[in-house]
Structure 1
Amino acid sequence: MEEEFFFESNEDAQRSIERYEEMIRNQDQYFFDAGAFEYIVDFYIEKNDPVKALQVVDYAVLQHPYATVFLVKQAHLFTLTNSYENAFNALQKAELLEPSEPDIYLLRGNIYQNTERYAEALNNYEQALLLAESTDEILLQMAYVYQSMGDYESAISYIKLSLEQNMENQDGLYELAFCYDVLDKQEESIKFYEQYIDTDPYSYAAWYNLGNSFHKLNLFEKAIDAYDYAILIKDDFSSAYFNKGNALVQLDKYEEAIEVYKQTFEYEQPNADTYCAIGECYEKLEHMDTARSYYKKSVKLDANMADAWFGIGVTLNFEERYFESLHFYKKAIDLEAENPDFWFARADAYYKLGQIDESIHAYEKVLEYNPVDVEAWLDFSTVLYEQGRLLEASETIADAIKNNPDATELYYRMVAYLFALGMQADALSYLETALKSDPDKHYILFEYLPQLQDNSAIIDVINRYIK
Structure 2
Amino acid sequence: MEFSQNDNNNLPLTKFESMLKTNHVLFFDSEEFENIIHHYLNQGKVALAKKAIKLGLEQHPTSINLKLFKVEIYIFENYLDEADTLLNELYIIDPLNEEIYIQKANIFSKKDEHAKAIDVLKKALEFTEDISDIYSLIGMEHLFLDQFEDAKNYFMKCLEENPEDYSALYNMIYCFDFLEQNENAIEYLNNYLDNKPYCEVAWHQLGKQYFAIKDYTKALAAFDFAIISEDTFVGAYLEKGKVLEKLKRYNDAIESYTISLQLDDPTSFALLRIGFCYEKLGNDDLAVQYFYKTVHEDPLLDKGWIAITKFYNKKKNYQKALYYINKAINIDTENVIYWKLYAQINQRLNFLEEAERGYKKALELGNYEVDTWIARGDILLKLGEPEAAIFNFLQASEFYPENAELEYRLAGLYFLQHETEKGSFHLKNAVRSNPEYAFIIEELFPNVFKKTLVKKLLK
Q: Which bin holds the TM-score, normalised by the shorter protein?
A: 0.7 to 0.9
Query: Is contact 1:236-1:267 (8 Å) kept?
Result: yes
Query: Is contact 1:231-1:240 (8 Å) kept?
Result: yes
Residue 433 of structure 2 corresponds to which residue in structure 1?
430
Matched, 1:207 2:207: no
Aligned CA-pair RMSD: 3.7
- Aligned mate of 2:214, from 218, 224, 227: 218
Residue 121 of structure 1 corresponds to which residue in structure 2?
117
Q: Residue 200 of structure 1: CA displacement?
A: 3.4
- Aligned mate of 2:350, from 351, 354, 357: 354
Matched, 1:289 2:285: yes
- String of CA shifts for 1:90-136, please: whole Å, max 9, x gaps: 43333233221111211222233233232332222112222111221
| Residue identity in the other structure for 2:304 | A
Q: Return the alpha-carbon distance in structure 2 between the equivalents of residues 236 and 446 of structure 1.
A: 64
Q: Residue 403 of structure 1: CA displacement?
A: 5.2
Query: Is contact 2:254-2:277 (8 Å) kept?
Result: yes
Matched, 1:268 2:268: no
- String of CA shifts for 1:322-342, please: whole Å, max 9, x gaps: 122112111211222222221
Correspondences of 1:47-446 after superposition (within 5 Å): 47-369=43-365, 371=367, 373=369, 376=372, 426-427=429-430, 429-431=432-434
- String of CA shifts for 1:172-224, please: whole Å, max 9, x gaps: 22112222333333333333333433443333222222222232333333332
Query: Is contact 1:295-1:308 (8 Å) kept?
Result: yes
Correspondences of 1:441-456 after superposition (within 5 Å): none
CA separation of 1:102 and 1:346: change in aligned 2, threshold 3 A: same
Gaps of 5+ in 1: 1-9, 433-441, 452-467
Gaps of 5+ in 2: 1-5, 413-422, 444-459
Residue 26 of structure 2 corresponds to which residue in structure 1?
30
CA separation of 1:354 and 1:214: change in aligned 2, threshold 3 A: same
CA separation of 1:131 and 1:13: change in aligned 2, threshold 3 A: same
Q: Residue 400 of structure 1: CA displacement?
A: 6.5
Query: Is contact 1:371-1:400 (8 Å) kept?
Result: no
User: Secondary structure of 1:323's match?
Assistant: helix
Q: Residue 411 of structure 1: CA displacement?
A: 6.2
Query: Is contact 2:393-2:410 (8 Å) kept?
Result: no
| Residue identity in the other structure for 2:433 | Y
TM-score normalised by structure 1 residue count: 0.77
TM-score normalised by structure 2 residue count: 0.79
Query: Is contact 1:312-1:325 (8 Å) kept?
Result: yes
User: Secondary structure of 2:232's match?
Assistant: coil
% identity of equivalent residues: 26
Q: Residue 404 of structure 1: CA displacement?
A: 7.5
- String of CA shifts for 1:256-314, please: whole Å, max 9, x gaps: 32222112113211122222222233334443332332222222222210111112222
Q: How many pairs does the alignment contain?
A: 427
Q: Residue 77 of structure 1: CA displacement?
A: 3.1
Query: Is contact 1:136-1:165 (8 Å) kept?
Result: yes
Query: Is contact 2:403-2:430 (8 Å) kept?
Result: no
User: Which has the larger displacement, 206-215 or 24-33?
Assistant: 24-33
Q: Residue 354 of structure 1: CA displacement?
A: 1.1
Correspondences of 1:2-41 after superposition (within 5 Å): 13-41=9-37
Query: Is contact 1:414-1:430 (8 Å) kept?
Result: no
